[in-house]
């Protein structure tokens, strides 16, 4: 089932939750809607499900306009972050609910039971059919919720942060398991997440959203290697950003020319976005001088933060752990990659806590 | 949740230790107050009725007038509680789920029977439903139902008194219902009626039952709202509390005590049932 | 990948309120039924009080209120409330502190005891005190010997009123404090605060709206109690009559207008109580919700 979103907008009290969003999901695709809170990803998911009505735009399932017609008839399987299981019904009644609720084409009770057992098998919960939701663990509950959604043979499967309420270990297991289920059943699936690792690991395609708009919709590799906007660059993976000047087709930092492709950017101030792997330490020779301000071990590498340039911009990069690097050490780096974006486009901002060096608060040492 | 000390060395803990101070003071004061105000007076009643002796107690209790009064009190309370349950759930639903102008004031109005003195309600209801009162006339002319000074009047008064109990018990539970279960139900293909009856209502049943029991318990003992509209004819439209007052005025303490003891026993039984309902619902649904 | 051009300008859809819910027709029917029921059952009696009170004109109304019996009934009612409400306030606070912040065996039993007056008929509530303090009870002779009048005098009325109304404040506070848990108090204690300071500066501000609500209801009930006071007071006009008892006397004397005039006072009090509660809840709805859902 192909899902097509055409110019959908939705506003809440003056804030645009969705701002002219368009998207096409191919049949059988597993698509992740990724973004920070408030980006509109959940609103988009709920609008596709029919749980929200857009102020403008249309949604098409296989070229059929869904705006006429009831939610009950859309055949959407929806899984909530907090499961929303029917607490007063047993597992098997939860799963059978959609089948029993059908007016046309309601299967016989024996057929319903058979399907329920089949699904329990699929989600690996056979034997638990007579339990009540309160007697299950979080991971088990989520699998019941999924089985319940699959029972109605949905045209589209929609999951709203399905693993958000589970602990890390369970989350990882269920992630892998969801991918397997998808490959086996072939449903068109959309899921919402704010966890980029999850999105990049699971999805055929990742749709990065920010403030009600789609920033980029591409494969996980493309999202990581070829981010289209500063937001995508800074939201995915690690990044640093430094201001540079563009002129004569080149980018310069404090008069030093940087050996990077700037595309067709206009002259003037710009932002250079870097990943740690875009920076290389030079043992000697020409390069950009920097002052080490902090280091920490990450696995087999050492993550170094240095301050470069007159304005002391901070850049992070990785060096092999064997090389001893300490604070206040001076070293030289070369920038070998990254992307330059025009200034005025926003990246993903998080609050920067002031470093202790700039604070005047004096601690009294505890008496020994 | 009482603590059971784990491990081999079982010291009997009757309360879980806490860092917060004031336990002794607060509990002590509470128990003292309750003893003075509640336990001792109740013990007095128990002693008095026990001192009657079983035979005398039974004789008074099975007196025809007493039985009829009890039957009126309990019967009218039952009918009123049923009516209140039906309409109370409706009112709670409308207040929680619908937005309309004046909703807050309507919500406040539900508390009226709590705040309005029973005597005030009593004379108002009597005036409204008297044969020459506005509602009394309408009911008489259109439906041939006589309300004033009849047992029906008792039921009307008890409906007034018991309504908030149902609404206020059901309302918080309704507010806490996850909308997501309704949304899931719709995506799974259930029509609205099925969603309401199969998904929402089952979660409300404990609260509905509790509200019913509270409304019933309140109605059984109600006095001030009822005596003006009831008619108070012995054997016909006399409620049990009124009979107690009459016996007291006759200085027939034995009679008054007996009836009071019977009513008290049934009140306690109701309280017990209510508490059972609440703990049952807490176990299955996680809330009252 | 966004599709480039929108073929048509965005069409404004007919706005349905929410996709999940009853249809508009059903809503209207349910709403009408609920409002009609409330209007007939609750609002009509209230209106009747005021209409009847002024049915003979304002002059009669004022005259009825000014009568000395009425004024002394008013005085007694106010006195009883002034004693009962604070006493129950202290109790309510103590009880809810004990129940909400601590775990102990017998807690359920204690809470049931607190709920007791709600399940007991007001007449029975009065009766138990007659049995306790009456002429032929255990304490009766001793009281008589020492010339202490409890029954058929003010102290009896006060005690009976306390019995009837003490649950109100506790019942309002206990679930509120239970929902808020003990974490804030534990934090305060760990920071070195004493029990009293913790209570006044941490607990009390958190429950102030529930407290006010409970006090208002307790007061309204204390002033309006009828059944228990009937039994306990002896109905002596001018001495042991509270306002509700006075209403009954006037009504039975066939002086309906005066009865309603006095009743309107209490009805006005009830309305003020409810109005204040509603206004508070409207203004502090956010705070209340946060307190309840802590």
**Given this model, what pLDDT does residue C185 score?**
83
| Closest by CA position to A101, among listed A67, A146, A136, A70 | A70
Q: Cα–Cα distances in Å, from A77 out to A74, A133, A271, C227?
A: 9, 19, 43, 59
**Given this model, what pLDDT does residue A188 score?**
94
- Indicate the residue of B186, B187, B191 with minimum beta-carbon distance to A77: B187
Q: Cα–Cα distances in Å, from A151 out to A93, A101, A122, A185, C184?
A: 11, 12, 11, 12, 46
Helices (H), C140-203: 140-145, 154-180, 183-190, 195-198
Question: What's the average model confidence in pLDDT over B252-260?
Answer: 88
**Given this model, what pLDDT does residue C291 score?**
53
Contact of A308 with chain C, judged by CB distance below 8 Å, is answered with no
pLDDT above 80: residue B96: yes
Q: How far is CA B167 from the centre of its chain?
A: 12
**Chain B: residue whose CA lies nearest to A71:** B187
Cα separation of the two ends of chain A? 71
Q: Cα–Cα distances in Å, from B45 out to B223, B259, B260, C223?
A: 19, 11, 8, 26
**Given this model, what pLDDT does residue B4 score?**
40
Number of neighbours of residue C193 by Cβ within 10 angstroms: 17
Min Cα distance C10 → chain A (Å) is 5
Question: What's the average model confidence in pLDDT over B114-121?
Answer: 92
**Given this model, what pLDDT does residue C188 score?**
82
- Indicate the residue of C6, C13, C19 with minimum beta-carbon distance to A7: C6
Residues of C with CB under 8 A from a CB of A: 1-3, 6, 10-13, 15-16, 19-20
Backbone angles phi, psi at B169, to 5 degrees: -85, -35
- Name chain A contacts of C12, Cβ cutoff 8 Å: 55-56
Task: Determine the residue among A86, A94, A104, A133 to mutate to test chain B binding: the one whose Cβ has the most chain B Cβ atoms within 10 Å.
Answer: A86
pLDDT, tens digit (0-9, with 9 covering 90-100), for C188-212: 887 777 878 888 888 888 888 889 8
**Given this model, what pLDDT does residue C238 score?**
58
- Alpha-carbon span B226 to C92, nearest angstrom: 30
Angle between helices C243-252 and C68-101 (to 10 degrees): 140
Task: Determine the residue among A7, A10, A40, A210 to mutate to test chain C binding: the one whose Cβ has the most chain C Cβ atoms within 10 Å.
Answer: A7
- Alpha-carbon span A144 to A128, nearest angstrom: 10
- Alpha-carbon span C234 to C129, nearest angstrom: 13
Q: Pseudo-torsion of CA C21, C22, C24, C25, nearest 10°?
A: 180
CATH fold of A3-230: Rossmann fold (3.40.50)
**Chain C: residue whose CA lies nearest to B259:** C124
Min Cα distance B260 → chain C (Å) is 6
Is residue B163, in this structure, part of any structural domain at all? Answer: yes
Instruction: List all residues of chain C from 61 to 100 with a beta carbon under 8 Å from chain B.
Output: 90-91, 94-95, 97-98
**Chain A: residue whose CA lies nearest to C14:** A55
Structure letter (DSSP) for residue A265: P
pLDDT, tens digit (0-9, with 9 covering 90-100), for A44-65: 999 999 888 889 999 999 888 8
A186: helix, coil or strand?
A: coil
User: Which uninterrupted H or E stretch holds A58?
Assistant: strand A56-61
Architecture (CATH level 2) of domain A238-345:
Beta Barrel (2.40)
**Given this model, what pLDDT does residue B13 score?**
58
- Alpha-carbon span C44 to B121, nearest angstrom: 10
Is residue B32, in this structure, part of any structural domain at all? Answer: no
- Alpha-carbon span B73 to B266, nearest angstrom: 12
Q: Where are the domains of chain A?
A: 3-230, 238-345
- Name chain A contacts of B284, Cβ cutoff 8 Å: 87-88
A21: helix, coil or strand?
A: strand
Which of B46-60, B87-101, C88-102, C151-165 bottoms out in mean pLDDT, i.e. has the lowest?
A: B46-60
- Indicate the residue of A72, A80, A148 with minimum beta-carbon distance to B186: A72
Question: What's the average model confidence in pLDDT over B54-70?
Answer: 86
**Given this model, what pLDDT does residue C294 score?**
41
Query: Quick one: tokens of C156?
Result: 């009896």
Assess whether the region A3-230 and the region A238-345 belong to the same CATH fold: no
- Indicate the residue of A7, A22, A67 with minimum beta-carbon distance to C13: A67
Backbone angles phi, psi at A76, to 5 degrees: -100, 130
Q: Cα–Cα distances in Å, from A120 out to A114, A147, A182, A361, C225?
A: 10, 7, 16, 60, 61
Contact of A47 with chain C, judged by CB distance below 8 Å, is answered with no
DSSP structure string for chain B: ------SSS----SB---S-S-HHHHHHHHHHHHIIIIIHHHHHHHHHHHTT-HHHHHHHHT-HHHHHHHHHHHHHHHHHHHHHHHHHHHHHHHHHH---TTHHHHHHHHTHHHHS-HHHHHHHHHHHHSTTSHHHHHHHHHH----TTSHHHHHHHHHHHHHHHHHHHHHHHHHHS-HHHHHHHHHTT--HHHIIIIIIHHHHHHHHHHHHHHHHHHHHH--HHHHHHH---TTTS--HHHHHHHHHHTT-HHHHHHHHHHHHHHHHHHHHHHHHHHHHHHHHHS--
- CATH number for the domain spanning B62: value is 1.10.3720.10
Helices (H), A153-291: 168-185, 196-202, 220-225, 230-235
Host domain of residue B278: 54-285
Is residue B68, in this structure, part of any structural domain at all? Answer: yes
Q: Cα–Cα distances in Å, from A7 out to A21, B284, C3, C148, C281?
A: 5, 46, 9, 85, 42
- Alpha-carbon span B168 to B115, nearest angstrom: 14
Q: How confident is the model at residue B126 (pLDDT cuts 50, 70, 90)?
A: very high
Query: Quick one: tokens of C155?
Result: 């102290």
Instruction: List all residues of chain C from 204 to 233 with a beta carbon under 8 Å from chain B.
Output: 216-217, 220-221, 223-227, 230-231
Q: Which residues of chain A have pLDDT under 50?
A: 354-356
pLDDT, tens digit (0-9, with 9 covering 90-100), for A177-227: 899 989 988 999 999 998 989 999 999 999 999 999 999 999 999 999 888
pLDDT above 90: residue B271: no
- Indicate the residue of C2, C12, C19 with minimum beta-carbon distance to A50: C19
Which residue carries 């030079």 as its tokens?
A: A282
Structure letter (DSSP) for residue A323: S
Is residue B230, in this structure, part of any structural domain at all? Answer: yes
User: How many beta-carbon contacts under 8 Å exist across B and C?
Assistant: 304
- Name chain A contacts of B185, Cβ cutoff 8 Å: 86, 97, 101
How many structural domains compose chain B?
A: 1
- Alpha-carbon span B258 to B247, nearest angstrom: 10
% of chain B surpassing 90 pLDDT: 27
Q: Cα–Cα distances in Å, from C167 out to B33, B257, C79, C91, C113?
A: 12, 24, 20, 9, 9
Q: Which residues of chain C have pLDDT under 70?
A: 1-18, 235-239, 284-294
Is residue B189, in this structure, part of any structural domain at all? Answer: yes
Is residue B11, in this structure, part of any structural domain at all? Answer: no
Report angle CA B276, B282, B285 to the nearest 5 degrees. Answer: 130
Contacting subunits of B (3+ beta carbon pairs below 8 A): A, C
**Given this model, what pLDDT does residue A23 score?**
94
Contacting subunits of A (3+ beta carbon pairs below 8 A): B, C
């Amino acid at each position: 089932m192909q899902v097509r979103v055409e110019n959908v907008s939705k506003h809440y009290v003056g804030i645009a939750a969705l701002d002219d969003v368009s998207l096409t999901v191919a049949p059988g695709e597993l698509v992740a809607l990724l973004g920070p809170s408030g980006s509109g990803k959940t609103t988009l998911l709920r609008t596709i499900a029919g749980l929200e009505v857009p102020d403008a735009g249309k949604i098409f399932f296989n070229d059929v306009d869904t705006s006429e017609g009831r939610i009950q008839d859309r055949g959407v399987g929806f899984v909530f972050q907090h499961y929303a299981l029917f607490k007063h019904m047993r597992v098997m009644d939860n799963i059978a609910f959609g089948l029993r609720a059908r007016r046309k084409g309601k299967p016989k009770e024996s057929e319903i039971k058979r399907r329920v057992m089949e699904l329990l098998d699929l989600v690996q919960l056979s034997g638990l059919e007579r339990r009540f939701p309160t007697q299950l663990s979080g991971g088990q509950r989520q699998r019941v919720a999924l089985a319940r959604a699959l029972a109605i043979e949905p045209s589209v499967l929609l999951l709203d942060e399905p693993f958000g309420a589970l602990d890390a270990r369970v989350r990882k297991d269920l992630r892998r398991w969801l991918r397997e289920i998808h490959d086996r059943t072939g449903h068109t699936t959309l899921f919402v997440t704010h966890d980029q690792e999850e999105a990049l690991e699971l999805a055929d395609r990742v749709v990065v959203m920010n403030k009600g708009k789609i920033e980029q919709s591409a494969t996980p590799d493309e999202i990581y290697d070829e981010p289209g906007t500063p937001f995508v660059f800074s939201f995915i993976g690690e990044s640093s950003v430094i201001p540079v000047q563009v002129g004569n087709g080149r980018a310069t930092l404090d008069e030093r020319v940087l050996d990077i492709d700037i595309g067709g950017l206009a002259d003037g101030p710009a932002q250079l976005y870097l990943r740690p792997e875009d920076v290389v330490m030079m043992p000697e020779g020409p390069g950009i001088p920097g002052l080490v301000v902090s280091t920490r071990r990450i696995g087999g590498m050492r993550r170094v933060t240095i301050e470069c340039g007159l304005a002391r911009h901070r850049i992070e990069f990785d060096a092999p752990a064997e090389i001893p690097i300490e604070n206040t050490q001076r070293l030289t780096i070369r920038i070998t990659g990254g992307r330059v974006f025009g200034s005025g486009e926003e990246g993903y901002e998080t609050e920067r806590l002031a470093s202790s060096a700039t604070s005047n608060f004096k601690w009294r040492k505890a008496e020994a | 949740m009482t603590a059971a000390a784990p491990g081999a060395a079982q010291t009997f803990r009757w309360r879980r230790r806490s860092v917060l101070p004031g336990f002794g003071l607060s509990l002590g004061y509470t128990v003292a107050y309750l003893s003075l105000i509640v336990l001792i007076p109740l013990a007095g009643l128990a002693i008095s009725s026990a001192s009657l002796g079983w035979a005398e107690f039974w004789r008074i209790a099975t007196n025809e007038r007493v039985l009829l009064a009890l039957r009126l009190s309990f019967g009218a309370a039952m009918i009123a509680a049923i009516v209140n349950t039906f309409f109370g759930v409706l009112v709670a639903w409308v207040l929680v789920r619908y937005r309309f102008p004046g909703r807050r004031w309507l919500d406040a109005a539900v508390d009226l029977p709590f705040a309005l003195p029973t005597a005030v309600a009593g004379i108002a209801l009597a005036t409204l439903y008297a044969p020459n009162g506005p509602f009394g006339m309408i009911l008489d002319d259109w439906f041939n139902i006589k309300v004033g000074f009849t047992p029906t009047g008792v039921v009307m008064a008890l409906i007034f008194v018991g309504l908030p109990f149902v609404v206020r018990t059901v309302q918080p539970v309704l507010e806490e219902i996850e909308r997501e279960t309704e949304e899931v139900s719709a995506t799974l293909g259930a029509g609205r009626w099925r969603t309401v009856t199969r998904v929402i209502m089952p979660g409300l049943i404990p609260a509905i039952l509790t509200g019913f029991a509270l409304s019933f318990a309140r109605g059984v003992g109600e006095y001030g709202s009822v005596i003006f509209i009831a008619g108070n004819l012995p054997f016909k439209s006399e409620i049990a509390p009124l009979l107690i007052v009459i016996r007291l005025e006759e200085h027939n303490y034995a009679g008054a005590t007996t009836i009071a003891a019977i009513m008290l026993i049934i009140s306690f039984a109701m309280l017990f049932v209510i508490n059972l309902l609440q703990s049952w619902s807490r176990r299955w649904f996680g809330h009252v | 990948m966004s599709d480039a051009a929108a073929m048509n300008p965005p069409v404004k859809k007919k706005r349905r309120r929410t996709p999940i819910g009853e249809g508009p027709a059903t809503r209207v029917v349910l709403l009408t039924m609920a409002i009609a029921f409330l209007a007939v059952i609750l609002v009509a009696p209230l209106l009747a009080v005021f209409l009847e009170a002024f049915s003979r004109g304002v002059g009669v109304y004022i005259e009825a209120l000014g009568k000395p019996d009425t004024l002394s009934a008013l005085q007694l009612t106010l006195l009883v409330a002034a004693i009962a409400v604070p006493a129950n306030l202290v109790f309510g606070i103590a009880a809810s502190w004990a129940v909400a912040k601590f775990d102990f065996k017998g807690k359920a039993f204690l809470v049931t005891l607190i709920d007791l007056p709600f399940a007991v008929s007001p007449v029975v509530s009065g009766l138990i005190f007659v049995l306790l303090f009456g002429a032929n009870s255990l304490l009766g002779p001793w009281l008589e010997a020492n010339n202490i009048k409890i029954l058929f005098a003010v102290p009896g009325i006060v005690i009976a009123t306390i019995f009837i109304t003490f649950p109100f404040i506790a019942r309002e506070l206990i679930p509120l404090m239970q929902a808020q848990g003990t974490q804030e108090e534990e934090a305060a204690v760990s920071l070195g605060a004493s029990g009293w300071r913790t209570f006044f500066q941490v607990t009390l501000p958190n429950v102030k709206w529930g407290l006010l609500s409970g006090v208002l209801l307790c007061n309204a009930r204390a002033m309006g109690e009828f059944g228990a006071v009937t039994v306990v007071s002896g109905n002596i006009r001018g001495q042991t009559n509270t306002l509700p008892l006075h209403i009954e006397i006037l009504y039975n004397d066939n002086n309906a207008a005066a009865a309603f005039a006095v009743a309107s006072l209490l009805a006005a009090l009830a309305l003020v109580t409810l109005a204040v509660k509603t206004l508070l809840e409207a203004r502090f709805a956010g705070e209340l919700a946060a307190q309840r859902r802590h």
